[in-house]
Amino acid sequence: MKLVKIEDGKREVDNFYLSSNFADFVGDAVIQKDITNKTISLISNNKIERKFDYDDFVIVVKKQNWDTYVDGEYVKFYVGTDTNEEYGIRDDIHGESNYLKILRNEGYVQAYKSNNSINWTNIGGVTTADTINKQGFKKNGSKSFTLENYTVYKNAYVTLLNFPESTIVDLCDSSGNVVKEKVFDKDLQCQIFLDCVTKGMFIFKNSFGQEIYRTEVLDLQYGDVYILSIYDLEIIYKGTVVNESPNPEMLDSLLEKVTIKNIGKETYQNLIVNTVDSTDDTIQLSLDGTTYTDTVTLTELVPNTKIDVYIKIYKGLSNHNFAVRSFQLNIS
């Protein structure tokens, strides 16, 4: 058996503000993109703001500090609602941080700050029933606000699937020290709140505390979904093993190819491959790149052999995410 990542936690391509057209967020602002250093700067004293229609999310940003402020100067990182309320973090004369984080889970918005992206300080939160529909940055001061990195994740948890109810799982650091302990529920699922993007490992135990399985050290990020698979398989995209990469490649287009490899010692027969998607996209699969259906069957996969699976995506009208990544590839 093998713990396999079946869904990547990122909602979209990193650095939306650097990657997108000006019309998507600039408004009346004066900005400067530095393609070489991969930064974007807000020069004028107003705001940049994007459409943001996610219910649950984690946004992590890295910015350049100003070091000194005078009274009245500030930088604000926020999410906004359909009633024009704003929730976020403000750097000013009272202090600033290189890393900022806003998350929302089941209507609760929480803000954090950090100087190393590992140890986070909770600066408060609020419950809101309003719809989050925008996200932005604003500033007032003589200096430019410079954004160095911007990442959006699906939620604040790592989700583990397919272990029996009452199975105990320890989240450990890379040295094997237990950080958190959780128990699988009746739906064969366990969610572990991540404090930061980190390296770690999972140790699974039965209800008597006897170890039944442990993983290697993994690169863990918010929103990732893992499943215990009885099959020893790798999913490969552009030469990278998807479930082992901390930053797997994005599907670059609506027509792509992944490779499924048998890394075990057994021959597998009649494996069924399909997708699970939370949007109104239509996703179909093919073994020959010509005939596409909702599922495909791998008749036989002997050890050390590979089979290519072609993926065609028809974007739904309500899915405005410019990334192509929000689905699970299931093999049963």
Quick one: average pLDDT of 132-158?
Answer: 97
CA quadruple 183, 184, 189, 195: dihedral, nearest 10? 10
Band of the pLDDT at 251, cuts 50, 70, 90? low
Domains, the chain, with CATH or none: 16-153 (2.60.120.200), 156-230 (2.60.40.10), 233-332 (2.60.40)
Looking at the chain, list the stretches that DSSP marks H as alpha helix, in order from N- to C-terminal side.
Answer: 16-19
Q: What angle do CA 46, 76, 132 make, to 5 degrees?
A: 95
Question: Percentage of residues in the chain with pLDDT exceeding 90?
Answer: 71
Q: Of 111-115, 147-151, 303-307, 320-324, where does mean pLDDT reach its minimum?
A: 320-324
Residues 4, 232 contacting (CB under 8 angstroms): no
Amino acid, single-letter form, for residue 175 = S
> Is residue 275 pLDDT above 50, yes or no?
yes
Q: How far apart are the first and last CA of the chain?
A: 13
pLDDT digits (tens, 9 = 90+) for 174-206: 999 999 999 999 999 999 999 999 999 999 999
> Is residue 324 pLDDT above 70, yes or no?
no
Q: What is the pLDDT of residue 131?
A: 94
Its pTM stands at: 0.82
> Is residue 237 pLDDT above 90, yes or no?
no
Query: Is 157 exposed, middle or buried (CB count within 10 Å of its CB: 0-12, 13-18, 19+)?
Result: buried
Q: What is the pLDDT of residue 115?
A: 96
> Is residue 50 pLDDT above 90, yes or no?
yes
> Is residue 33 pLDDT above 70, yes or no?
yes
Q: What is the pLDDT of residue 280?
A: 67
Quick one: average pLDDT of 268-293?
Answer: 85
Question: DSSP characters for 206-218?
Answer: -TTS-EEEE---E
Band of the pLDDT at 22, cuts 50, 70, 90? confident
Structure tokens that stand for 220 in this block: 């863990």
> Is residue 211 pLDDT above 90, yes or no?
yes
Average of per-residue pLDDT values in the chain: 89
